[in-house]
Structure 1
């Protein structure tokens, strides 16, 4: 098969020799590289392929994770000569590609950052220059980011610089921001994060909290995403000892609506960190219940709604959380309003929250409110619909039976719902 090359003002189609085409994209290669299997691909295409598959696309031979494809300079020069020859036909010239960053350069940069950070006599501008050079390397491609993360000691050095610059007011804020930007761009494994957490002790979380307290929205968003990953990698013993300040800053992040990604990260932190009663109380004291209810009233997108209901489910596992929910003027109604028409996950979480209220906080006024705001009608619909999971329907039926004496005869319950009311 032969490809076609097209230019802006091309008079006729130009046939591209088949051996100039990348087997993956079927487009003319600009930076041909050869795998150990002997097959040549365009660098961009094969690097993207190897991110998800560790084999040669054509031969299916395994490709080592640390394999560096060999540049095919001869083929690249042929392609450049051919494109120059057909430039008059509208074929775009193929420039000489910039050599990709190699491990030696990254290692040298990491060593330079580490040495600069430990030297008290070194100016802030020197470490900043090294960090920005490494940041530019990481920004080149996914391959470069994987390379930075794989260099021994790179993540540890960056974490140490970030923690130190966040804690030392004399250090430039830019050093802290650049180190955070590099770390947050890397795809760090849970094992790597767990090691960094162990070595930094509480200092890493404290550094992230200090960034969350600043006004720079981009840095706050990166800190939120990194905090999500850090808390997910924490052991239960460390997670349960999170400070109240962590929850205050996470709640403030949701309140400020810094970005959709930052809001979701904050919600993930709330859900993951409130498995235990002590953290639930900390989150409630930080105002989490109020901000989550207000968020539900703002009609968030599906995933954010599911996470907010998941966090409320956790917080309603303690008396303080339930008290805050029923004390909110729209708390019960907001949860009931998300029990249908969002997703099965949202329905399950909303029903779980309502069950906690019905079991432990159902004073007469709350029971009446659930009927007046349509929550009882929603529970009837969930209990009788086969669209929802069996456990979700069972929970809805349990709530309805628990307060049947009040709701069956309620004037707020439509007559057709009374007929549907579970026995």
Structure 2
């Protein structure tokens, strides 16, 4: 393949880029010919050598081919056990967040999400703090990015925090404070649901609850969103309230819950649940 010949490398990348853009048939043939494997190799090699030559082209080609039907069955084998590839994507995110290349960040994050979804537990357990810092910085800089990128970043954190050691790293990287700040802004329903799912996971550990309560608006935000977004958000809000009440219910916390109307909201949830229960039994 011309990719292995330095003098032909750029031309080969340009040609593949053009073919991938041209048609779905071309993309299908390229997947079958092993181009995805080649692009993963190019990206990983670029990371190890610290060079960016044709890196954008490699990522764009990979994005175009990633969702092909022929790719689905190969993903776990190709990237699910490849920590170098995850480290490469993290490196690329770092590069492009520094130079404000929004387009590339928007392309990399969905690939990272798909990679994390097929990664085995050993790979997930070896993720470094720097990985989580980069993902959380995407949430922090959300105004410049697409909704798809923000959702993908939240999915990455939810998927990885199933391991306790990762939960601690996510909290250490400052996720709780950034999630609360993001939740204070008006968000679409799906993003709010993902944020609350993640917050509930993080509040299951002591450091997560401590950070949550350290934010002056955390309980007020939780109370305000309850019964206003969706049943999924309500379930996660109740889970967070339960964790806070069980493990962190100081006098100050209880007073804050009373002050911002959280107790009233909890009573309203109980009334709504009772009404639903009674209605269901009347219909029997």
TM-score, reference length from structure 1? 0.60
How many Å apart are 1:370 and its aligned residue? 0.9
2:236 is paired with a residue whose SS is helix
| Counterpart in the other structure of 2:104 | 219
1:179 corresponding residue in structure 2 = 58
Q: 1:158 corresponds to which residue?
A: 39
- Whether the 8 Å CA contact 1:325–1:331 is kept in 2: the answer is yes
Q: Does 1:195 align with 2:74?
A: no
Gaps of 5+ in 1: 1-110, 391-423
Report the CA distance shift for 1:187/1:254 in structure 2 as closer, same or farther (over 3 A): same
2:26 match: 144
Distance 1:296 1:387, change over 3 A: farther
- Is the Cα–Cα contact under 8 Å of residues 80 and 118 in structure 2 kept in the other structure? no
Q: Does 1:240 align with 2:125?
A: yes
Tell me whether 1:285 sits opposite 2:172 in the alignment. yes
Q: Which structure's CA Rg is the greater one?
A: 1
Alignment of 1:184-333 (within 5 A): 184-185=63-64, 186-187=66-67, 189=71, 191-197=73-79, 201-214=82-95, 215=99, 216-257=101-142, 258-333=145-220
Distance 2:106 2:160 in 1: 19
Give the distance between the partners of 1:187 and 1:272, measured in 2 at CA: 20
Equivalent in the alignment of 1:75: none
Structure having the higher helix fraction is 2
Unaligned runs of 5+ residues in structure 2 are: 278-284
SS at match of 1:311: helix
Number of aligned residue pairs: give it: 268
Alignment partner, residue 131 of structure 1? 13
**For 1:238-295, what per-residue CA distance to the aligned partner results, in whole angstroms no more than 9, with x for missing partners?**
2122111110000001111122211111100111110121101100010100000000
1:384 to 246, 271, 275: 271
Q: Distance in 1 between matches of 2:146 and 2:274?
A: 33
Q: Which has the higher contact order (CA 8 A, sep 6+)?
A: 2
TM-score normalised to structure 2 length = 0.88
Aligned to 1:364: 251
1: CA distance between counterparts of 2:179 and 2:190? 14
Native 8 Å contact 1:146 1:187 kept in 2: no
- Alignment partners' CA distance in 2, 1:164 and 1:331: 43
- Is the Cα contact below 8 Å between 2:80 and 2:120 reproduced in 1? no
The aligned counterpart of 1:105 is none
Task: Find the aligned partners of 1:198 and 1:265 in 2 and give their Cα distance.
Answer: 17
User: SS at the partner of 2:58?
Assistant: helix
- 2:220, 2:252 → 1: CA distance? 13
- Hey, what's the Cα distance between the residues in 1 that align with 2:138 and 2:124? 19
Q: Distance in 2 between matches of 1:366 and 1:388?
A: 29
Does residue 1:355 correspond to 2:242, yes or no? yes
Change in CA separation of 1:270 and 1:331 when aligned onto 2, cut-off 3 Å: same
Tell me what 2:223 maps to: 336
Find the aligned partners of 1:169 and 1:235 in 2 and give their Cα distance.
26
CA offsets, 1:163-202, max 9 Å, x none? 1123323451xx1111111112221555422212256x32
Once residues 358 and 313 of structure 1 are traced to their aligned partners in structure 2, the CA distance between those partners, rounded to angstroms, is: 13
Q: CA RMSD in A?
A: 2.0
